[in-house]
Amino acid sequence: MSTPIVGIDLGTTNSLVAIMRAGQPVLLPSPVGSLTTPSAVSIDDSGELLVGEAARARALTHPQRCATNFKRDMGTSRRQHLGELSMSAPGLSALVLTSLQRDAEAALGEPVTQAVITVPAYFGDLQRQATRDAASLAGIEVLRFINEPTAAALAYGLHRLDQELRALVLDLGGGTFDVTVLEIIEGVIEIQASAGDARLGGEDFAEALVELLAARIAEQQGVPPDLEDPQIHARLLAACERAKRRLSAAEEVRVPLPDFPLGDERLDLELSLTRADAEAHWQPLLARLRGPINRALTDAELEPSAIDEVLLVGGATRMPCLIALAARIFGRMPNRSLPPDEAVAMGAAIQAALIADDEAVEDLVVTDIAPFSMGVETSTRVAGRAIGGMFSPVLERGTVIPASRIEHYLPLHDAQDTLVLRIYQGEHALVRHNTLLGEIRVPLPRAGSSEHKSVGVRFTYDLNGILEIDAIVEATGDKHSLVIEQRPGALTASALERARAAMQRLKFHPRESLPNRTTLARADALHVQLRGAPRALLREQIQFFEVALSGQEPREIEQARESLQATIEGLSRFL
């Protein structure tokens, strides 16, 4: 029996795991019954790790012992602190992947060690390598990276293979924004152009509301909230996230902040927020969305009117302002036929089925493109002076992948015995504005003129978006390959082994008790925000649940948990 291959959407805010069953992508649930797992990690007072819903709830009560939004730090050296524990973005992502892996194994009843993992189309080489490191730490072999908009296109296109259409995918997730132009012709999904912003997502819209409400509190009370205080910021951010979601269905919402710390006091605050006010404050963010849209259309050499369908992906696309923006640009309402939170994971499962030669997708073919240009730094002589720092693309953005391209370079002068090839990723003419990936030092023959010291530089870009560079000295045939050293946040083989050993020493909270732990974490987060009679009622229900847990009788625990969950849902209306 073959090993199952799952599809994983490793998101900034939420992550999901899916698999193909009977020709359809199926999402696999977490221990608390949810199809989404928050991309959050926390460590409790006993040193046990919590991943998912329980960790996200603790971000409100114990913000200094929680990590969120770490996907944005992939490919960097930044670390987050959970109490005294310091972890990199790949390490934190590995914990989320491990949680998803366990959910899949519980659902399928067999080990899961292979996966297709989605990444933003605008993730560069460093970020993709960091994602591979995270999977390796979790004991997962990445069979393929697939760009998130491409995965969404697979999910939308699975039952439309007999149609011919040109579509544009708008993917606004929690932390990233991607735009992809594609064409479906006779079962072939061809990606024509991609653009995006790896630091723009729904979280930014919530943070913008934090700024807006903080300014209003300062205006009304004469004292600004201390946003440098992690707990105060977490309180406001949670309230703004709820308000943002409610504004998708309402023109105006209340934002209650009971028992809110302000200066030396604790006040019961309540603010009113209209959709119009929020959208006015979001205008700079909405303006940033237009740039990648225009760039993708330009690269595809298309006018907005040439797009047959606009597909919305990512939870943040539920915002009416984004739907309206898409309608204004393209002159038609966008397609929202699939749940925006789930489409990417479904597409990853379809890609996994393609790799597994599943008969259900045998008529489906998908091509992808390189989202960035990649090349080398060059110098030239102008009026006898060497002018350096120029970018020479070897592989242009929009190239269909897998691809291999070669360019030839010469030393500046005859006596030069080494050619230093600095590899960059980006679109700017000057390399200082692009991203340095690494360098190769190529020894040259000592004899001969510069014209006889040509070096062929080949860039090979695979379907996972991983770049390999070979430099060949044509006079000697000597070949040198790129080994990127000191990549920010990257792990060497020995560092990976050390990190795996460190992860094995971490204590994961038992999976079977996560529903109880998650319910308690949600109750505690709500208790912090309430006061008076609602708070007393919740405290009473928490006590009943603690008594049931101490009795260790499964039926009583389940009944008490359900009662506490109902109380949480009922009291949440006060927020």
Please compute, for residue 364, the number of CA atoms within 13 A of its CA located in the half-sphere on the CB side: 25
Give CA separation, 64 vs 68, 81, 106, 496, 523, in Å: 11, 7, 31, 26, 19
Q: Which amino acid makes up residue 284?
A: P
Q: Radius of gyration over alpha carbons of the chain, in Å?
A: 26
| Distance of alpha carbon 392 from alpha carbon 407, whole angstroms | 9
Give the span between the Cα atoms of 167 and 306, in whole angstroms. Answer: 9
Question: Considering Cα of 484, then 490, then 493, then 494, what sign does the dihedral take?
Answer: positive
Identify residue 36 by its one-letter amino acid code. T
Residue matched to tokens 């001969």: 448
Owner of token pair 């819209």: 205
Catalytic residue among 103, 125, 171, 309: 171
User: What is the rounded (10 degree) CA torsion for 410, 413, 418, 419?
Assistant: -30
Sorted by sequence, the CB contacts under 8 Å of residue 198 that are 6+ apart come out as 72, 120, 122, 123, 124, 127, 176
Say how far apart CA 538 and CA 35 lie, in whole Å. Answer: 27
Q: Provide the token pair at 127.
A: 């970020």
71 is catalytic: yes
Residues with Cβ < 8 Å from 509, sequence gap 6 or more? Answer: 44, 48, 49, 50, 54, 517
Phi/psi of residue 93, each to 5°? Answer: -65, -35
Contact indicator for 107, 28 with CB cutoff of 8 Å: yes
Given the residues 44, 53, 148, 377, select the one marked as catalytic: 148
Taking alpha carbons only, the member of 448, 330, 315, 323 closest to residue 9 is: 315
Catalytic pick from 71, 73, 341, 439?
Answer: 71
Q: Where are the beta strands (DSSP E) in 426-489?
A: 435-443, 455-461, 467-473, 479-481
Q: Which two tokens stand for residue 467?
A: 């770049």
Q: Is 368 marked active-site?
A: no
Q: Is 470 annotated as catalytic?
A: no
229 given a catalytic annotation = no
Interatomic CA distance for residues 218 and 208, integer angstroms: 16
Which residues neighbour 455 within 8 Å (Cβ) at sequence distance 6 or greater? 408, 409, 410, 419, 421, 442, 444, 471, 472, 473, 474
The number of CA neighbours under 13 Å toward the Cβ of 348 is 34
Q: How many CA atoms lie within 13 A of 530 on its CB side?
A: 21
Q: Which residues pair with 188 in a beta bridge?
A: 185, 365
How far apart are the C-alpha atoms of 364 and 354, rounded to whole Å? 8
Length, in residues, of the chain: 575
Phi, psi for residue 270 in degrees, rounded to 5? -150, 125
Q: Identify the CA nearest to 77 among candidates 483, 496, 487, 484.
A: 487
List, by residue number, the catalytic residues: 9, 71, 148, 171
